[in-house]
Amino acid sequence: MVAEAAIRGEGVALGRSVLIADDIAAGRLVVPFPQYKLKAERGYDLVYRTGSQDTPKVRALREWLSEEMRMLEE
């Protein structure tokens, strides 16, 4: 979804090269700094609209994800 927003001109995005390679090849996305690549293992971000962090649905998802991550660390 973030790549789609970047394609629409709504900003910039970080993306896994394997997932955005077709868009780069087709010219829909550009790599502004090709000399820099970030090594990523397993990482995800939870993003939501500003001001919605305390809505019941977002709070429930945050709490569930936090608990899942705690269980993975054990």
Per-residue pLDDT of the chain (74 residues; tens, 9 = 90+): 888 999 998 888 888 888 889 999 999 999 888 888 777 776 666 778 788 888 999 899 888 988 888 887 76
The reported pLDDT for the residue numbered 33 is 82
The reported pLDDT for the residue numbered 49 is 79
Same domain, 50 and 35: no
Domain enclosing residue 59, as ranges: 44-74
Same domain, 35 and 57: no
The reported pLDDT for the residue numbered 74 is 67
Same domain, 2 and 34: yes
Q: Alpha carbon of 65 to those of 53, 57, 58, 72: distances in Å? A: 14, 12, 11, 11
Same domain, 27 and 2: yes
The reported pLDDT for the residue numbered 34 is 84
- The total domain count for the chain is 2
The structure tokens listed for 36 are 């820099």
**Cβ atoms of 58 and 48 closer than 8 Å:** yes
